[in-house]
Amino acid sequence: MRALVEELHARREDALQMGGERRVARQHAKGKLDVRQRIDYLFDPGTFVEFGQHAFFHSNGTPVAADNIRTPGDGMVSGWGEINGRIAVCAAYDFTVLGGSIGDINERKVTRCREFALKNRVPMIWLIDSAGARVHGGSGIDFEQITLFSGSGYLFREQVAMSGVVPQVAAMLGPGAAGTAYIPGLADYVPMVDGTSFMALGGPPLVKAAVGEDVEEQDLGGAKIHNKFSGVADQSFESDEACLDSIKQYLSYLPQNCEAKPQEIPHQPSPERAPGGATRENLLDVLPESSRRGYDMKKLLGYIVDDGELFEMKPQFARQIVTAFARIDGKSVGIVASNPGGAMGGALDNDSADKAARFVNLCDSFNIPLIFFQDVPGFMVGSRVEKAGIIRHGAKMLYEVSRATVPKITVIVRKAYGAGYYVMCGRAYEPDLIVAWPTAEISVMGPAGMVEIFARSMGRDATLDQTVVDAQKKQMIAMIEPHIDIYKVAGRALIDEVIDPRETRDYIVSALKLSANKKVERPWRKSGVRPV
């Protein structure tokens, strides 16, 4: 027995060497942690339990055992452990072993990970540093891998089955080409590392062969591309460590599964947040005098949430809307806020509607209350956005806000115009509380827009000088503005209250308590037909 146990420990020690000293050194030279360091950094010390350590690659049906080809774990470290005291399952690709490529053996390990996560209702984490699907063998093309492809693809179907049941995180810590790119595409949270991470359905060689385009890896699918332009990623970081820290922070806002509620973290408000405190007083100075001028909504939010901390999702993408996790009175909340200082004066377009719809869906899936801060002039209009499908994209946001059954609280800060008012949880969309600041304006559109439409409908007298026309328009705007009056709206009981901005946090805290046991009954249906 002792000899067998000694052999076991020798095999374990060998597996810990990953792809060998030379390949590990190459990994570190790129500024990347190796897979073992990533696991140690992410999980609480001494809690990670590994399985599948003795798995290895079989090429053309034959175990690979050549001295120059090391395949411990078949390029995958799998197991579970604790993150801040809470269990999570992890599948971490090891780029030092066959480029962390997906093969038949390591996919069996990942299938087991998904089984553990789903059955035990705990988060599933992928640490991706992978060349994609494996077609090479020990010394060339692996024909068996080509044949086995016909039975692959279960991982994505199983990811869909897990969606909304347990949190799914896919951290891009290196390449994620071809098949591995769909893992983040189906995950809930996707952080990337600047300069070293990459994801695309085809890498530069395949792109060159397929469409004749010469493109560098980072220009094709680097962190900047997917954070700023495509919106596939949620955040970008300068190092592996910062990326892994974000996973810990993200999971702290979420419950373990859809049947649980997020953990509450006891919070003691600082004196600045007490009535009359400095932070509350600052809320009176955030908005510019002119309603035409923008401002930073995130600054406003910082005066309301616990410790001024926001965990923003997709901060570089569709900047006219803010989607962020925060805590208020120790409770996790999801914030959807217009950002007039971000882009397009806060007007919604295709990308911002998609961004908000996905975030609302995420919060509703995991029992996280939603708080909407409105300062929205409406949706963008014109031929460009119509060609791009603005109606279809706006309908996604409308659908998700309507469908959500978690507590919903709406604060109207300034503008609430047109369909923008609807999709930001206006009165018809079942907010558990809807309040407005004295600066709020609820209207089908702004006064200037009304005047333009009225002028067109009446036709224009060609004999009138433009200065006369402009003066008439200004006169009409002055006539309309007094009727866009938040007190008239409150007078019809169409909102719950007009509040002092300094009372915003108190109203939200109380409404969260009121709606803590909220129950919404919907008509039975197999599935809604979502706009896509």
Instruction: Report d(CA 273, CA 328) in Å as an integer.
Output: 12
pLDDT for residue 140 is more than 60? no
Say whether both 478 and 493 belong to one domain: no
Say whether both 287 and 405 belong to one domain: yes
Q: Is residue 264 part of a domain?
A: no
H or E element at residue 235:
strand 235-237
Q: Is residue 528 part of a domain?
A: no
Q: How is residue 479 annotated by DSSP?
A: H
pLDDT band with cut points at 50, 70 and 90 for residue 451: low
pLDDT of residue 107: 86
Instruction: Report d(CA 333, CA 370) in Å as an integer.
Output: 6
pLDDT of residue 67: 44
pLDDT band with cut points at 50, 70 and 90 for residue 448: confident
Instruction: Report d(CA 188, CA 358) in Å as an integer.
Output: 9
pLDDT of residue 462: 57
Q: Is residue 130 part of a domain?
A: yes
pLDDT of residue 246: 99
Q: Is residue 262 part of a domain?
A: no
pLDDT for residue 1 is more than 50? yes
Q: Is residue 174 part of a domain?
A: yes
Say whether both 225 and 303 belong to one domain: no
Say whether both 338 and 475 belong to one domain: no
Q: List, for residues 252-297, the tens digit of each pLDDT value.
A: 999 999 999 999 998 887 777 666 667 889 999 999 988 889 999 9
Contact, 88 vs 40, CB < 8 A? no
Question: In one letter, which amino acid is 260?
Answer: A
Q: Is residue 529 part of a domain?
A: no
pLDDT for residue 137 is more than 60? no
Q: Which residue has the higher pLDDT, 526 or 456?
A: 526
Strand partners of residue 130: 176
pLDDT band with cut points at 50, 70 and 90 for residue 124: very high
Q: List, for residues 147-183, the tens digit of each pLDDT value.
A: 767 777 788 999 999 999 999 999 999 999 877 899 9
Q: Specify the CATH number for the domain of residue 213.
A: 3.90.226.10
Q: Give the pTM.
A: 0.92
pLDDT for residue 242 is more than 90? yes
Say whether both 338 and 456 belong to one domain: no
Buried b (16+ CB within 10 A) or exposed e, 115-125: ebbbeeebbbb
Contact, 173 vs 243, CB < 8 A? yes
Q: Which residue has the higher pLDDT, 99 or 410?
A: 410
pLDDT band with cut points at 50, 70 and 90 for residue 447: confident
DSSP-derived secondary structure for 249-318: HHHHHS-SSTTS-PPP------GGGSTT-HHHHHGGGSS-SSTTS---HHHHHHTTSGGG--EEESTTSS
pLDDT of residue 19: 87
Say whether both 18 and 75 belong to one domain: yes
Q: List, for residues 32-68, the tens digit of each pLDDT value.
A: 999 999 999 999 999 999 998 888 776 555 555 444 5
Instruction: Report d(CA 460, CA 467) in Å as an integer.
Output: 13
* Structural domain total, the chain: 3
Residue 47 backbone phi and psi in degrees, to 5: -105, -15
pLDDT of residue 468: 66
Q: List, for residues 339-378, the tens digit of each pLDDT value.
A: 999 888 899 999 999 999 999 999 999 999 999 999 999 9
Q: For 115-129, 290-304, 454-468, which range has the lowest pLDDT when averaged over its residues?
A: 454-468
pLDDT of residue 286: 95
Q: Is residue 296 part of a domain?
A: yes
* Nearest-5° Cα angle at 288, 351 to 504: 75
Say whether both 475 and 395 belong to one domain: no
pLDDT for residue 502 is more than 90? yes
Domain residues for the domain of 17 are: 2-253
Say whether both 369 and 457 belong to one domain: no
Q: Is residue 530 part of a domain?
A: no
3-class SS string, 148-179: HHHHCCHHHHHHHHHCCCCCEEEEEEEEEEHH
Say whether both 174 and 288 belong to one domain: no
Say whether both 207 and 101 belong to one domain: yes
Say whether both 114 and 236 belong to one domain: yes
* pLDDT over 90 percentage in the chain: 73
Instruction: Report d(CA 113, CA 439) in Å as an integer.
Output: 52
**What sign does the dihedral 262-266-272-274 (CA atoms) show?**
positive
Say whether both 394 and 470 belong to one domain: no
